[in-house]
Amino acid sequence: MSMESLRRFSALAWHWILPQTCAHCREDLPSDGKAPLCDRCQKSLCLSEPPFCLRCAEPIAGGKALCRSCSGRPFACRLVRAAFLYRGPVPGLVHAFKYRGRRAAARAAGRWMSCLLPRFPELSGHDTLVPVPLHPRRLRERGYNQAGLLAEELARIAGRPMLDLLQRTKPTRPQWDLDRQFRAKNLAGAFLAAPQTRGKSVLLIDDVCTSGASLEECGRALHQAGASRVAAYVFARQTL
Ligand SMILES: [Zn+2]
Ligand SMILES: [Zn+2]
């Protein structure tokens, strides 16, 4: 038996023992499929599309260019763009690759992000992909950084370099656990960028953007280490 057929056989056997289910509706998935969602759920994914705030991609109505929290101040992370909105099947999918160990789901999400990247020409020129890091303790618990898996897929498909330029030096409480005003405080000084950052134009990669506070804190650390500019591309935008 060749390595390839052995690999296929073991994937099938694994599927037989433990059928993969749709990360949202839990319907069984075809054994040959790589998608983490069934067809119906995949079709109900909600793209992040204008009208949205030109800085942070928060959906806004009324013809305004910037949302209230982005108006009138500069940002270290100058732009945030998202592939999808955090609704419909997205929360279940994110939960699957964040808390249920489904690495393949993160890789599929990274492939979708790469298909949708050309919709945002404003992100071109940000050539170095940098995943938002986990604190080493959380990385040990989870065994992988989901943002790293997304960035790896994007880097592989887009042919851009991916570098782990950031480290999280301070364990932080989950951002969803905190009020908006405490989020920035919780993250202050939480990241450190490597000296190789100097002169790089960085595209930060993360799974979900909620308030944008972690992306902003990463942007600050990257600029401190000499990044020429910083933008972010996330899998899903949570709306506040
Ligand atoms: Zn489904
Ligand atoms: Zn905004």
Using one digit for the tens of pLDDT, what is the confidence trace for 182-199? 666 778 889 999 999 999
Q: How far apart are CA 35 and CA 14, in angstroms?
A: 16
Q: Which ligand is nearest to the CA of 75?
A: 2
Q: How many Cβ atoms are within 10 Å of 43's Cβ, its own excluded?
A: 10
Give me ligand 1 centre to Cα 103, in Å: 18
Structure-token pair, residue 30: 């075809």
Domain containing residue 216: CATH number: 3.40.50.2020
pLDDT at residue 16, as a whole number: 52
Residues 3, 57 within the same domain: no
pLDDT at residue 34, as a whole number: 77
pLDDT at residue 19, as a whole number: 66
Q: Which ligand is nearest to the CA of 209?
A: 2
Residues 26, 120 within the same domain: no
pLDDT at residue 240, as a whole number: 73
Residues 1, 112 within the same domain: no
Q: How far apart are CA 131 and CA 222, in angstroms?
A: 12
CA angle 123, 129, 135 (to 5 degrees): 125
Number of domains in the chain: 2
Pick the closest to residue 214 from 146, 177, 168 (CA basis).
168
Give me ligand 2 centre to Cα 71, in Å: 7
Give me ligand 1 centre to Cα 55, in Å: 32
Give me ligand 1 centre to Cα 80, in Å: 28
Residues 7, 88 within the same domain: no
Residues 63, 32 within the same domain: no
pLDDT at residue 3, as a whole number: 64
Give 144's contacts (C-beta < 8 A, 6+ positions apart). 103, 106
Residue with tokens 């401190």: 224
Residues 11, 98 within the same domain: no
Give me ligand 1 centre to Cα 13, in Å: 22
Give me ligand 1 centre to Cα 50, in Å: 26
Q: What does pTM read for this prediction?
A: 0.89
The DSSP letter of residue 21 is B
Using one digit for the tens of pLDDT, what is the confidence trace for 167-187? 999 877 666 666 666 666 778
The DSSP letter of residue 65 is S
Counting as low any pLDDT under 50, the low residues of the chain are: none
Q: Which ligand is nearest to the CA of 53?
A: 2
Q: Which ligand is nearest to the CA of 89?
A: 1
Residues 136, 231 within the same domain: yes
Q: How far apart are CA 17 and CA 6, in angstroms?
A: 16
Give me ligand 2 centre to Cα 30, in Å: 40
Residues 55, 16 within the same domain: no
Domain enclosing residue 114, as ranges: 46-237
